[in-house]
Amino acid sequence: MTEGTTHADGMDWTDPHCPVARTLDLVGDRWSLLIIRDAMDGARAFTDFQHRTGIARNILTRRLRHLVERGILDRHSAPSGRRQVYALTAAGRDLFTTIVSLRQWGERHAFARDEGHSLLVDESGVPLPELRPTDSHGIPVDVDTTTVQRAN
């Protein structure tokens, strides 16, 4: 793999030509994506992740190791030297768009009108506008107006 790609040598890809499938092979389970969400929200130590997700220790240990191996998280010693902390790599930080899209879909479809939920806000405290794919002219596109071209 070239610089800038994740460290995914030796991966047994489900569908090698499809970028959706490769991403899901790397981070496509609920716990991995919740760990990434929490790392974006400031979690660094094992116990931070454990408290926020409620995930079992053995599963958390395995998921953190996979995310390090796959180039999504870096592990290093805290300044005190007494514990390990985790930080998102550049590739991990770049999952921000995906986490925002999961959040916004959830806001639209997974809450009743009277249920409260957390909000992602900008530096002025204003919620982000909805992400919508567009064509190169800025016109919104959807399932009906786009096509997947297979790799050669």
Interaction residues for its own copies, span 29-58 (CB under 8 A): 29-30, 33-34, 37, 40-41, 52-54
Instruction: Give yes or no for residue 88 binding its own copies (CB under 8 A).
Output: yes
Q: How far apart are the first and last CA of the chain?
A: 19
Instruction: Give yes or no for residue 141 binding its own copies (CB under 8 A).
Output: yes
DSSP character at residue 31: H
Considering only residues 58 through 87, tell me which ones interact with its own copies, judged by CB under 8 A.
Answer: 71
| Closest C-alpha among 107, 88, 112, 75 to residue 32 | 88
Among residues 25, 43, 49, 63, the one that binds its own copies under rule CB under 8 A:
25
User: Whole-number minimum distance, CB 124 to its own copies, in Å?
Assistant: 7
Instruction: Give yes or no for residue 116 binding its own copies (CB under 8 A).
Output: yes
What the block records as the tokens of 61 is 């240990």
* Nearest to its own copies of 82, 143 (CB atom): 143
**Residue 26 exposed, middle or buried by CB count within 10 Å (0-12, 13-18, 19+):** buried
Instruction: Give yes or no for residue 145 binding its own copies (CB under 8 A).
Output: yes
Instruction: Give yes or no for residue 148 binding its own copies (CB under 8 A).
Output: yes
Count of residues that bind its own copies according to CB under 8 A: 83
Q: Cα(99)–Cα(134) distance, rounded to whole angstroms?
A: 19
Q: What is the dihedral of CA 123, 30, 24, 145, to 10 degrees?
A: -60
Instruction: Give yes or no for residue 122 binding its own copies (CB under 8 A).
Output: yes
